[in-house]
Structure 1
Amino acid sequence: MKAFARFAWSVLAYNLAVVVWGAFVRATGSGAGCGKHWPMCNGEVVPRSPALETVIEFTHRATSGVALLLVVALVVAARRTFPPGHPARRWAWASLGLVLVEALVGAGLVLFGWVAKDDSAARGWVVAVHLTNTFLLVGAIALTAALAGRARGLALRGHAGLTGALGLAAGALVLTGASGAIAALGDTLFPATSFAEGLRQELSEEAHVLLRLRVLHPFVAVFSTLALGWAARSALRARPDADTRAASFAVLLLAGLQLFAGVLNVALLAPVWMQLVHLLVADLLWVALVVLAATALSPPAGAASPAGARPGDAPALG
Structure 2
Amino acid sequence: MNRRFASAAWFLLGYTVLVILWGGFVRATGSGAGCGSHWPLCNGELIPHSPRVETIIEFVHRLTSGLLGLLVLGVVVAAFRIYPRGHTVRKSAIWTLFFIVTESLLGAGLVTFEWVAANDSVERVYVMAFHLVNTFLLLAAVTLTAWLASGERKLPLRGPGVVRLTLALAGVLLVGSSGAVTALGDTLLLTQGLSPDESPVLARLLATRLYHPSAAIVVALFVAWVAWRKNPYGRPLVMMLTAQLALGAVNVYLKAPVWMQLAHLAVSDAIWVLLVLLAATALTRQPVAGSR
Q: With structure 1 as the length reference, what TM-score do the two structures score?
A: 0.84
Q: Of 232, 235, 257, which aligns to 1:271?
A: 257
Cα deviation, residue 53, structure 1: 0.5
Aligned partner letter, 2:176: G
Aligned partner letter, 1:176: V
In structure 2, distance between residues paired with 1:139 and 1:38: 27
Q: Could you tell me which residue of structure 1 aligns to residue 218 of structure 2?
A: 223
Alpha-carbon distance change, 149 to 85 in structure 1, aligned in 2, over 3 angstroms? farther
CA contact (8 A) 1:86 1:151 kept: no
Q: Could you tell me which residue of structure 2 aligns to residue 97 of structure 1?
A: 98
Alpha-carbon distance change, 229 to 50 in structure 1, aligned in 2, over 3 angstroms? same
In structure 2, distance between residues paired with 1:191 and 1:53: 17
SS at 1:155's partner residue? coil
Cα deviation, residue 219, structure 1: 0.8
Cα deviation, residue 253, structure 1: 1.1
Q: Could you tell me which residue of structure 2 aligns to residue 249 of structure 1?
A: 235
Alpha-carbon distance change, 78 to 206 in structure 1, aligned in 2, over 3 angstroms? closer
CA contact (8 A) 2:120 2:202 kept: no
Q: Could you tell me which residue of structure 1 aligns to residue 182 of structure 2?
A: 183
Is 1:289 aligned to 2:288, yes or no? no
Aligned residues: 284
Q: Could you tell me which residue of structure 1 aligns to residue 149 of structure 2?
A: 148
In structure 1, distance between residues paired with 2:120 and 2:27: 12
SS at 2:149's partner residue? coil
Is 1:164 aligned to 2:169, yes or no? no
In structure 2, distance between residues paired with 1:128 and 1:140: 19
Cα deviation, residue 191, structure 1: 2.4
In structure 2, distance between residues paired with 1:251 and 1:295: 13
CA contact (8 A) 2:122 2:201 kept: no
SS at 1:208's partner residue? helix
**Identity, % of aligned pairs?**
49
In structure 1, distance between residues paired with 2:40 and 2:125: 22
In structure 2, distance between residues paired with 1:269 and 1:184: 11
Structure 2 stretches of 5 or more lacking a match? none
CA contact (8 A) 1:166 1:231 kept: yes
Alpha-carbon distance change, 207 to 146 in structure 1, aligned in 2, over 3 angstroms? closer
Following superposition of structure 1 onto structure 2, how do residues 1-318 of structure 1 map, counting pairs within 5 Å? 1-159=2-160, 162-191=161-190, 208-233=203-228, 236=229, 240=230, 244=231, 246-299=232-285
Structure 1 stretches of 5 or more lacking a match? 193-200, 307-318
In structure 1, distance between residues paired with 2:113 and 2:238: 39
In structure 2, distance between residues paired with 1:290 and 1:164: 14
Cα deviation, residue 269, structure 1: 0.7
Q: Could you tell me which residue of structure 2 aligns to residue 314 of structure 1?
A: none
Cα deviation, residue 138, structure 1: 0.4
In structure 1, distance between residues paired with 2:159 and 2:265: 35
Cα deviation, residue 207, structure 1: 6.2
Alpha-carbon distance change, 152 to 85 in structure 1, aligned in 2, over 3 angstroms? farther
Measured against aligned partners, the alpha-carbon deviations of 1:171-201 in whole angstroms (never above 9, x if no partner) come to 1100111000011111111129xxxxxxxx7
In structure 2, distance between residues paired with 1:51 and 1:32: 11
